[in-house]
Every structure is written in structure tokens, then in C-alpha cells.
């Protein structure tokens, strides 16, 4: 096998990321050397590679589905919104510019060669490259300079399958309309459909799929049923709106409730996947002060717009709720931007340009933002938690200076983070994925809250592997993997029909009814 496939979607959060991961795992089981690719990713969830490159978190998970270490070529362009109108552009793992939407469109011509070079590199080294599109390929206002969907597929002569989320409703119209809005040279690469998140009787759906095939000349290559508990490493914050199925009952008498303060520009909310996978641990994303007061552990997550989110936190009265927790020694954990907020003062001429901003004053820390972003892996031990080992990655412009308290982590290079009372702060993302640190942290929280809590025994790495296997199972059982392999090897079939924008005949579609 030698080739590539683009998995596009009718909308954001249609399930492209998990479908790509599932296809990658299914192909790997067949002995195919497969790699993931997403040309342009707009996401606030990111990861750091072994080489110190920043890429989208979803591509890091897809690499694991392939049995690979993630690398910058798998996501050559990452866009991280840093406010309503501006974003940081990261190319091949390093930030190159902060631009508005129009500025980014002007930048695309220069980015296209870098994207194609990255894709060519993967195609040379692997048998198959499974590419993930961005948003919808039918965003015709962006088509001229597109480098992520049909613009990429046309340049690389890649077949395309389109994923639709049936759980939202209107999936047949969304699939048909996506095709009809494309220009003819784009339509010829659309080779088939995948229906995602199906609940119900397949016999009832079948006539609709038959009619879709008649109208478009393209078959549905799979109907993937809804499966709970597959939310690991979600890319889009829309995924937080739905329930997180699959929570395990506590092993002891009590569970632990974790409240994560939901911020407008929250980044790396996947930091809490490992906590939510623990038996008896409930993770809630919230903006409600009463949740902050009640929870056993409150977490301020990372953010790409620290000063802006800090202002909104105050507007919602969450600053007062956090101060009350600290006064009563209720556990609080700040991660990266959340850690910076907990400090006394922030000096920001880089992200917000606001200069000096008062922090929440719950940790004796001062933060000064620097133009150069720190991207690194850090490991050490946590004295507060019985010298539990910890390892995580840093993605930050802020440089923190501790003016009191104690360091949270002792590293070979020195100290990291801060502890004052029951308020903890660290710059490390992904720390909770370490089994020793996570269990020690939860046990410490349980001790402070007087809870009879028993940590789980499963390694989080095994949990993630099991969920990637579940995705592979889903694709193998409910999609035509042989047909997908044929597309990868042979490309889109010749002579596929071209649709005009709009239905071919309304009366025909209604079966002749007036």
C-alpha cells in the first residue's frame, strides 16, 4: 500500500479526529505503516514533541494510534486563538507570528509550501497518511487560499471521505449540501461518506443512505455507532458540552468532585482526562461560583489569553469564591495560565499588552511575559505529595518568580511551581497522566477533605491504549476498511457525478408529491 486519504467533516466536532485515530489504529493492526496529518489546526489543546515542537493535541493522540512518536510534520500549521480577533501562528512547531484573520489569509501563500513539504515527507516515510481536514470543506468563502481541505486534496491528488454527525440531526442534508457547494474539480475527489455517532435502528437509516447514493453517486462507507467514553484528547471545546460517559464508581466509600473553571480561552483541557478516568472522580467544567465553593478540588486550567480570562473570572465573581476556598484551606490547583492568575501580579506586554495586572493574590508569585515561548519537557518530584514523581510539558510565554511559599516540584534544574497552604501552582501540562503524581494528588485532596477515597490501579497509558483500540474496533466493525484501503491506494474513482449547487429536482426528491 502507498497513498493518502483526507477525512473531512460537515462541521467542527463532527468526529474527524476520532475517526482518523480509529482508521489509523485499524490500518496499523493490518501491518500498514501509517501516520496522521493535519495541515492546519485551529485549537487551544496542544502537545510538545520530544524535539520541543508544539503541535495539536489530537495529532499527538493520532500518532499514538499509529504507534509513533508525534512530530511537527504531522501538524505543520497550528493556530492558537489569543483573543477575539488575534491568533498565534505556529509553523513546524515554533511560533512565527500573531495575526488577525485577514493577516492569516495573506500568510497562507507562504505556508502552502511548508504544508506540502511536511505531507510529502510523511508520504515518503510511511505506507499511508491519513489526513484530517479542518472545519468544513464547504466553507466556500475560504476556498481560494485553502490549505487544509480540498485545496490540499487537489494539490496532493488525494481522495476524500466526508464525516457527518448524525447525532446533531440533518446529516443527509449536510452531506449532500457539502458536495453540492463544491466546484466540479473539488467534487471529483469526494469519494464517499461516513456517518458518525449513530443511535438507533440501522434499518430505518438505510433508505436515506440509499437515496443519498442515488442522488450523489457516492456510497456510505460506514455508519459508526455512538460509543460513550471515547472523549480522550478531544480537540474542540464543543466536546465539553456533551456528557462524559463511562465514569467508574468509587473504589472506596467516597468519590472526589473536581471543578475545572471554564474559561473563554481555556487551553489544554485534555489535562483533566486522566483525572476523569479515575474511579470515583467526577470532573465538571463550570463558571458557577457555588461549584467552586463546593468541589473537593478546584482547578484553574491553562489559557491562551491569561489577562482577558482573569478579567472575566472576576466579572463572574469566581475570584471571591476562590479566595473563600483559600481562606478555608480548600484545595486549589493552577496549571500554566491558571497558575499565573493565582499569583500576585502579572506583567504582560506580549499577549494582551495590558502591562501590569493584579493577580488573585493566592500564591506569592510574580509573572513576567517574554516574547520567546518556552516549549520543554520537565520532570522531578513533589515533596508535598511524598516525593511523588511528576513529568509534564511546558507551553508558555510567562516566566514565574516565586516570592514566598515553597516550590511544588524539585527538578534537576532547580525548582518549579509553588505551594502556599492548600493552593498549588505548576506550569506543567499533562502531569496528571503520570500515575504516581495523579494518585498522590487525589489522596492528598481526600485527606484534606476528610474523604474515604481509594485511587484506581489502572495505568493511564493503558486506559488511553484501550480507548484507541476501541476506536479501531469501531472502524473495523462498522466501516468498510477494504474500501478505504482501495481509496488510499487507487484514489477517487473516475467519473463520479458532479452536482449543481442546489437540489437537482425538488419534486423528484419529494417523490412526486406537490
Name the residues annotated as catalytic: 336, 429
Residue 456: closest CA among 250, 245, 232, 246: 250
Distances (CA, A) of 357 to 196, 321, 407: 45, 20, 23
The two beta strands, 388-402 and 365-382, are antiparallel
What is the C-alpha to C-alpha distance for residues 417 and 385, in angstroms, rounded to an integer? Answer: 14
Q: Using the 8-state DSSP alphabet, how is residue 108 labeled?
A: H
What is the C-alpha to C-alpha distance for residues 100 and 98, in angstroms, rounded to an integer? Answer: 7
Run of H or E residues at 47 = strand 46-48
Residue 425: closest CA among 328, 300, 261: 300
> Scanning the structure block, which residue is given the C-alpha cell 489530537?
58
Residue 88: closest CA among 144, 143, 41: 41
Query: 3-state class of 206 per DSSP?
Result: helix
Alpha-helical (H) ranges within 148-231 are 150-156, 171-180, 184-187, 202-216
Which conformational region is residue 89 in: left (phi greater than 0), alpha (psi within -120 to 50 degrees), or beta? Answer: beta
Distance of alpha carbon 444 from the chain centroid = 29
Per DSSP, the residues of 319-364 read: HHHHHHHHHTT--EEEETHHHHHHSSEEEESSSS--EEEE---SSS
Amino acid at each position: 500500500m502507498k497513498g493518502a486519504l483526507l477525512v473531512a467533516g460537515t462541521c467542527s466536532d463532527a468526529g474527524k479526529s476520532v475517526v482518523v485515530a480509529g482508521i489509523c489504529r485499524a490500518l496499523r493492526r493490518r501491518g500498514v505503516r501509517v501516520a496522521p496529518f493535519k495541515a492546519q489546526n485551529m485549537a487551544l489543546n496542544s502537545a510538545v514533541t520530544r524535539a520541543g515542537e508544539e503541535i495539536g493535541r489530537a495529532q499527538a493522540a493520532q500518532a499514538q494510534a499509529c504507534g509513533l512518536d508525534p512530530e511537527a510534520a504531522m501538524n505543520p500549521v497550528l493556530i492558537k486563538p489569543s483573543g477575539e480577533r488575534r491568533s498565534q501562528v505556529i509553523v513546524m512547531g515554533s511560533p512565527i507570528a500573531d495575526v488577525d484573520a485577514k493577516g492569516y489569509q495573506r500568510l497562507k501563500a507562504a505556508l502552502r509550501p511548508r504544508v506540502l513539504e511536511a505531507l510529502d515527507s510523511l508520504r515518503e516515510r510511511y505506507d499511508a497518511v491519513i489526513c484530517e481536514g479542518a472545519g468544513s470543506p464547504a466553507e466556500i468563502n475560504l476556498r481560494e487560499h485553502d490549505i487544509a481541505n480540498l485545496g490540499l486534496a487537489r494539490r496532493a491528488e488525494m481522495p476524500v471521505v466526508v464525516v457527518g454527525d448524525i447525532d446533531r440531526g440533518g446529516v443527509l442534508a449536510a452531506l449532500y449540501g457539502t458536495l453540492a457547494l463544491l466546484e466540479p474539480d473539488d467534487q471529483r475527489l469526494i469519494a464517499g461518506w461516513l456517518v458518525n455517532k449513530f443511535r438507533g435502528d440501522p434499518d430505518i437509516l438505510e433508505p436515506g443512505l440509499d437515496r443519498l447514493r442515488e442522488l450523489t453517486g457516492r456510497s456510505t462507507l460506514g455508519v459508526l455507532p455512538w460509543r460513550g467514553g471515547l472523549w480522550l484528547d478531544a480537540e474542540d471545546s464543543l466536546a465539553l458540552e456533551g456528557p462524559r460517559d463511562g465514569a467508574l464508581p468509587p473504589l472506596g466509600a467516597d468519590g472526589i468532585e473536581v471543578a475545572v473553571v471554564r474559561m473563554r480561552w481555556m487551553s489544554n483541557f485534555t489535562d483533566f482526562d486522566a483525572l476523569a478516568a479515575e474511579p470515583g472522580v467526577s470532573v465538571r467544567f463550570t463558571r458557577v461560583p457555588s461549584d467552586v465553593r463546593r468541589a473537593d478540588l478546584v482547578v484553574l486550567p491553562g489559557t491562551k489569553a491569561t489577562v482577558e480570562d482573569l478579567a472575566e473570572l472576576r466579572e463572574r465573581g469566581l475570584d471571591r469564591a476562590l479566595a473563600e476556598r483559600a481562606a478555608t484551606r480548600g484545595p486549589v490547583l493552577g496549571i500554566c495560565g491558571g497558575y499565573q492568575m493565582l499569583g500576585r501580579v502579572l506583567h504582560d506586554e506580549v499577549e494582551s499588552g495590558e502591562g501590569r495586572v493584579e493577580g488573585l493574590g493566592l500564591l506569592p508569585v510574580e509573572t513576567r511575559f517574554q516574547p520567546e515561548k518556552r516549549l520543554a519537557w520537565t520532570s522531578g518530584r513533589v515533596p508535598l505529595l511524598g516525593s511523588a514523581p511528576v513529568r509534564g510539558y511546558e507551553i508558555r510565554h510567562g516566566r514565574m518568580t516565586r516570592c514566598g511559599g515553597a516550590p511544588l516540584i524539585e527538578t534537576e534544574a532547580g525548582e518549579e511551581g509553588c505551594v502556599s497552604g492548600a493552593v498549588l501552582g505548576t506550569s506543567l501540562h499533562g502531569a496528571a497522566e503520570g500515575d504516581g503524581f495523579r494518585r498522590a494528588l487525589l489522596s492528598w485532596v481526600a485527606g484534606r477533605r476528610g474523604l474515604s477515597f481509594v485511587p484506581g490501579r489502572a495505568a493511564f497509558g493503558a486506559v488511553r491504549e484501550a480507548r484507541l483500540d476501541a476506536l479501531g474496533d469501531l472502524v473495523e466493525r462498522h466501516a468498510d476498511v477494504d474500501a478505504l484501503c482501495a481509496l488510499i491506494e487507487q484514489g477517487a474513482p473516475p467519473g463520479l457525478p458532479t452536482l449543481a449547487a442546489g437540489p437537482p429536482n425538488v419534486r423528484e426528491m419529494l417523490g412526486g408529491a406537490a
